[in-house]
């Protein structure tokens, strides 16, 4: 059997790099986030990717990930909630992708809530994010003292109020400066069990960005994360790995939401 050498195709943007690997046997697409300071390098592939062939099975990320909703549906029914997914090739790259994404948005000093599904993942995310010098991190634990929890929630709401007032009063180009909205990214990491409770008179966090580091499997959990954490004009970023593609599509269909692929230029949605 003849051997073929894959061809690497690199596209550089101001803050994000997309890499595609072409071979006669198919196309593999990898999406990564990074700060880029070097000059761009781009060529055209020596041959186009195959135009036909059987589609990959559900949940397979070996090929380009398509939106769970057709382009026509997205165009004719724009999603007011602004929901996006970010495909991660392998689970071992997930944490690094999260840290790089936070680095990309660091200058905006956004109020962010990161949701996970278990205490183990909460501990892992906190351990990694705590090492970032531009982050002010506050985890919510189920066994947290009531006074400490109340202080964390109140401080975060104060931060979101200040950020919203600042961005409304300032031109968007100037609001990207760190000194205009605060010194650090304000981040809360929480599990579903520790989300703010209306029954306990805890108002929503109204974060600018909700990151689902772990995708909930049920519509009710997804919607509760939104109502408890997200501002009316906020955005949701869902990190999706491998077999979670089917879960994402199920959430989209059952909730009536449109979840689009996160754009290469993330500044377009912030």
- Inter-CA distances, 103 with 19, 95, 106, Å: 19, 12, 5
Question: In this predicted structure, what is the pLDDT of residue 174?
Answer: 52
Pairwise CA distance, residues 212 & 259, whole Å: 13
Owning domain of residue 254: 71-268
Question: In this predicted structure, what is the pLDDT of residue 175?
Answer: 44
Residue at 26 is within a domain: no
Residue at 58 is within a domain: no
- Rounded to 5 degrees, φ, ψ at 25 are -90, -5
Residue at 116 is within a domain: yes
DSSP class of 255 = H
Residue at 43 is within a domain: no
Question: In this predicted structure, what is the pLDDT of residue 170?
Answer: 60
Contacts of 85 (CB under 8 A, 6+ apart): 65, 237, 238, 239, 240, 248, 259, 260, 261, 262
User: Which CATH number does the domain housing residue 245 bear?
Assistant: 3.40.50.300
Residue at 3 is within a domain: no
By C-alpha distance, which of 30, 23, 29, 64 is closest to 47?
Answer: 23
List helix spans (H) across the chain.
Answer: 71-76, 94-104, 119-129, 146-169, 172-175, 178-181, 219-229, 244-255
Residue at 66 is within a domain: no
Number of domains in the chain: 1
Reading the chain (270 residues) residue by residue, the pLDDT tens digits are: 444 444 333 333 333 333 333 333 333 334 444 333 332 333 334 334 444 455 444 444 444 344 444 333 333 333 345 999 999 989 999 999 999 999 999 988 999 999 999 999 999 999 999 999 999 999 999 999 999 999 999 999 999 988 888 876 664 555 444 444 457 999 999 999 999 998 899 999 999 999 999 999 999 999 999 999 999 989 999 999 988 999 999 999 999 999 999 998 888 887
Residue at 202 is within a domain: yes
For 34, half-sphere exposure in the C-beta direction (CA atoms, 13 angstrom radius) is 11
Residue at 111 is within a domain: yes
Question: In this predicted structure, what is the pLDDT of residue 182?
Answer: 56
Question: In this predicted structure, what is the pLDDT of residue 167?
Answer: 75
pTM over 0.85: no
């Amino acid at each position: 059997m003849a051997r073929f050498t894959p061809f690497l195709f690199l596209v550089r943007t101001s803050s994000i790099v997309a890499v595609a690997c072409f071979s006669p046997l198919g196309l593999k697409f990898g999406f990564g986030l990074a700060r880029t300071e070097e000059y761009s390098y781009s060529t055209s592939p020596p041959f186009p990717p195959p135009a036909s062939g059987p589609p990959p099975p559900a949940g397979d990320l070996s090929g380009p990930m398509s939106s769970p909703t057709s382009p026509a549906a997205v165009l004719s029914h724009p999603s007011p909630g602004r929901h996006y997914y970010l495909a991660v090739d392998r689970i071992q790259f997930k944490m690094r992708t999260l840290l790089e994404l936070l680095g990309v948005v660091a200058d905006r000093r956004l109020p962010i809530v990161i949701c996970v599904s278990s205490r183990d993942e909460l501990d892992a995310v906190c351990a990694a994010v705590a090492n970032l010098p531009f982050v002010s991190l506050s985890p919510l634990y189920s066994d947290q003292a009531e006074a400490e929890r109340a202080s964390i929630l109140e401080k975060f709401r104060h931060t979101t109020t200040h950020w919203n007032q600042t961005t409304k009063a300032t031109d968007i180009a100037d609001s990207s400066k760190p000194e205009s909205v605060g010194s650090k990214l304000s981040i809360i990491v929480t599990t579903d069990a520790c989300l703010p409770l209306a029954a306990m008179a805890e108002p929503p966090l109204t974060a600018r960005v909700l990151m689902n580091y772990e995708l909930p499997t049920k519509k009710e959990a997804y919607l509760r994360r939104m109502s408890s954490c997200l501002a009316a004009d906020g955005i949701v970023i869902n990190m999706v790995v491998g077999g979670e593609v089917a879960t994402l599509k199920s959430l989209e269909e059952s909730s009536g939401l449109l979840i689009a692929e996160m754009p290469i230029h993330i500044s377009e949605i912030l």
